[in-house]
Amino acid sequence: MAISERPLSAQDGQRLDYQAKLTGRAAYLADMKMPGVLEGVVLRSPVAHAWIRYVDASEALKVPGVVAVYTKDDVVQGTGIEPYYGPVFKDQTIVAVDKVRHVGDPVAAVAAETREAAEEAANLIVVEYEDLPPVMEVQDSVKEDATLVHETVRIPEHGFADLAELKPIENTNVCTHFKLRKGDIEQGFAECARVFEDTFILPTTQHVALEPHGCIAAFQPDGRVNLWSTTQNPFVVRTQLANIFKMPVSKIRIMVPYLGGGYGSKVYPKIEPLTMALAQKAHRPVRILLSREEVFYTVTKHAAFIRMKTGVKADGTFHAREAEVFLDTGAFAEIGPRVAKKSAYTAAGPYKFSHVKIDAKSVYTNKPPAGAFRGFGVSQSAWASESQTDIIAKALGRDPYELRMQNIYDEGDEFVTGEKLWSIGVKGCLEKVAQEMKWGEPMPAPQDPSKVRGRGLAALIKATITPSISCAAIKLNEDGSVNVFTSTVEMGQGSDTAMAAIVADTLGISLDQVSVLGVDTDVVPYDLTTSSSRSTFHMGKALELASLDLCEQLRRFVSEEHGVPFEETRMEGGKVLFRENALDIREVLFNHFGMQGGTLVGRGEVKTSTVDPDTGDKTTSSFWFVGAGGSEVEIDKDTGRLRVLKHATAVDVGRVITPLGCQQQLVGGAITGLGQALFEQMVWDNGILVNPNLVDYVLPALGDMPDEITPIAVEVPHKNGPFGAKGIGETSLIPVAPSIANAVDDAVCVRIKDLPVTAEKIFLGMLDES
């Protein structure tokens, strides 16, 4: 394995969640039992865009076993409910009120003793629609005469700090427009020897976490409410629910079991508001478990349409980049405005440009809402930028690797925002990938003469959400063991193990002495979100600080009890050392409390800012994550059929915390990227989603794997990360698609600009070429 062998306490193959998961005993949301729980079923819109004339639930209420039916009347006339919500703009309602905006938009919901009764009742609800023309593509949606998806959009009183400047644009379907400017773009192009213009397209895709979304809500007799939810950011969901139901957050308790995958699909409120509303109306606990089809209507990845214009000097220096990025955010803003902003920051790629003009628009359409997806806007802009980099190299007769290395960021270079970049190992990543792919060496000829091979590269830079907050606490028990209180959600990424390893290594105790509680907002301290590849960096650091807080308390006890100056004590290998003495943690606690008992609590918090507290410099991202990928493909000249033979992915991880977790994230992300590159797309026909199932929406399977996917961890430590570590969750996905398209062009001189890269497109391209 090409991951550096410098493990902390976590050894290969050791993960805290494995015993439970391998024996079928790990509890996911749908595995939880609750006496008296009602089953909730959602009635969804069959049309993409329509006014709702009326909703009549009278027949549904007559079905035996039905306890409550929730409709728009409850939203509008409900006492104490704020009808509008949303993480950026308040454009969502618990069920559709005035109109439906996409196929699958929730219109009503039924709570009944059995799922069968709830389904029967939902089918008896009569809804009369008055059809409106749906707008399905961003290119149509931005036209002046396009039908409006939202007539008005409300802004929350307290939004996210990083999105404060983005406002809805009245009387258009443009949800937000983020502008990034550097230099003078016209002057820049005038100074260039060559200018390249291309358009790139990506389809809507879906995360397909194997576990569908679900929620259980149970009101308590004192008015408090307990929720169990498949959420990646319970504290944000708690805030949103508190706003909707006008309750203090202290009365809303959210617990999160293991998630069966997230990849961004489970951030921000999904089914929680409706589950809680039904439970409130039914005066009974309610659970809603979404079907696979409903998941496709709940959240997607933004489709994109990207115009990219790049000017280069005669010597290959990248000089001017103009890009117009249209991101299809679907029927609701959700987190689309931030996706667009992140897309804009990296539309110039990991390269130095003197003149930059980026316009990133999130655009409403009548598709299901698009939200966070591993890669968060960057896989869209990188598809364009990295494909065009090879187009430029080919036109200039330059080697794509050399051209990238000539223009790529290095330590201290200025980013498009004007700030300096530090801890930025992208050059090293590209170098390692090129080595691994045997770049520059002759391609071995395929045994089968009807096949031809090619290689391609891609690199990236991406920001993490900034500013943000992670708070953590750890509890030291009388026997020296530790309980960790963190809101980082274990959704498969191995965070429980990474967090425990950071605590164990900071305290100098073994990993088996550390337990991670699990997420419960009544107990664990605040954390913004498990997304944006931020947990190891932010929560890991908070836990390192919490552990150091404990160390300091233990040293202080020893200092006071033994009359030793504090500075002459230190903590090492789980012992407090002073003079020639070494006291283990248990002894220090016993001496302090005078018996076996007592608790010490260590606290840690990380709050990042858009200004570096040390230097005063602007900091768009608390750390940058960078990486590179390389693909080797083989194409059948007769059919266009493509096989990826090898993929190498290098990620600047800062510092490996858990080698296994690191390998899994790097390879796993690349495999998700492979699906996005080769197969996945949601297909519409007249506003109707044609393939909301796993027969027609194709996922990568074992047989689609390359012979080898090689993970390479490059370690350029970050001053603010725990042990120097940075985030790694998204990086490896992003270069996969462009590196494959670049390899296809290398093999058969066919440039594919719209994903996915299919045999049909390659075949037709070869026909054109000949």
Partner 1 sequence: MKKSITMEVNGSSCEVEVEPWRTLLDVVREELDLTGAKLGCDIQVCGACTLLVDGKPVSACSVLAVDADGRKVTTVEGLAEGDRLHPLQRSFMKFGALQCGYCTSGFLLTAKAMLDENPHPDDEQIKSYMGGSFCRCGCYQEIMQALRSVAQG
| Contacts with partner 1, residue ranges (CB under 8 A) | 12-13, 15, 17-18, 20-28, 30-31, 33, 207-212, 258-261, 263, 291-292, 491-494, 660, 663-664, 667-672, 693-695, 699-703, 705, 709
DSSP run (H or E) holding 744: helix 736-748
Q: Closest distance between partner 1 and the C-beta of residue 649, in Å?
A: 11
| C-alpha to C-alpha distances, 617 to 416, 422, 464, nearest whole angstrom | 14, 12, 17
d(CA 519, CA 521): 6
Minimum CB–partner distance for residue 212 and partner 1 (Å): 8
Q: At its nearest, how many Å lie between partner 1 and the CB of residue 147?
A: 34
Angle at 369 between CA 368 and CA 370, to 5 degrees: 115
β-pair type (370-371, 482-485): unpaired
Torsion of CA 472, 476, 9, 584, to 10 degrees: 150
- Least CB distance to partner 1 at residue 291 (A): 6
Min dist CB 513 to partner 1, Å, is 20
Name the residue nearer to partner 1 (CB basis): 600 or 662: 662
Nearest CB to partner 1, comparing residues 17 and 402: 17
A 10 A CB-CB count for 311 gives: 25
| DSSP structure string for 506-538 | HHT--GGGEEE--EETTTSPPB--S-TT-HHHH
Tell the smallest beta-carbon distance from residue 375 to partner 1 (Å): 14
**Which residue in 468, 487, 210 sits closest to 338, CA to CA?**
468
First to last CA, the chain: 42
Report the nearest approach of partner 1 to the CB of residue 37 (Å).
Answer: 12
Residue closer to partner 1, measured from CB, 105 or 211: 211
Task: Output 320 or 648, the one with its CB closest to partner 1.
Answer: 648
Contacts made by residues 397-401, CB under 8 angstroms, sequence distance 24+: 398/316, 399/440, 400/456, 400/457, 400/742, 401/430, 401/434, 401/439, 401/440, 401/457
Radius of gyration of the chain (CA): 27
Q: Which C-beta is closer to partner 1: that of 42 or that of 474? A: 42
Closer residue to partner 1, CB minimum distance, 565 or 703: 703
CB of 496 to partner 1, least distance (A): 12
Residue of 558, 458, 539, 526 lying closest to 498 (CA atoms): 539
In the complex, minimum distance from the CB of residue 260 to partner 1, in angstroms, rounded to a whole number: 3
**Alpha carbon distance 170, 643 (integer Å):** 47
Nearer to partner 1, 111 or 660 (CB): 660
Nearer to partner 1, 604 or 729 (CB): 729
**How far is residue 545's CA from residue 744's CA, in Å, rounded to a whole number?**
48
Find how far residue 529's CA is from the centre of its chain.
10
Q: How far is the CB of 492 from partner 1 (least distance, A)?
A: 3
Residues 6+ apart with CB under 8 A from 565: 559
Taking the least distance from each CB to partner 1, the nearer of 91 and 680 is: 680
The Cα–Cα gap between 324 and 139 comes to: 12
101 and 165 Cβ atoms separated by less than 8 Å: no
Of the candidates 205, 234, 149, the one whose C-alpha atom is nearest the C-alpha of residue 525 is 234
Nearer to partner 1, 291 or 581 (CB): 291
Region label for 558, one of left (φ > 0), alpha (ψ between -120 and 50) or beta (otherwise): alpha
- Taking alpha carbons only, the member of 626, 627, 645 closest to residue 709 is 645
- Which C-beta is closer to partner 1: that of 15 or that of 718? 15
Nearer to partner 1, 29 or 163 (CB): 29
The strands making up 600-607's β-sheet, listed across from edge to edge, are 514-516, 482-485, 469-476, 600-607
The smaller minimum CB distance to partner 1, of residues 92 and 204, is found at: 204
What sign results for the dihedral spanned by CA atoms 423, 428, 430, 436? negative
For the purposes of burial, counting CB atoms within 10 Å of the CB of 450, is it exposed (0-12), middle (13-18) or buried (19 or more)? exposed
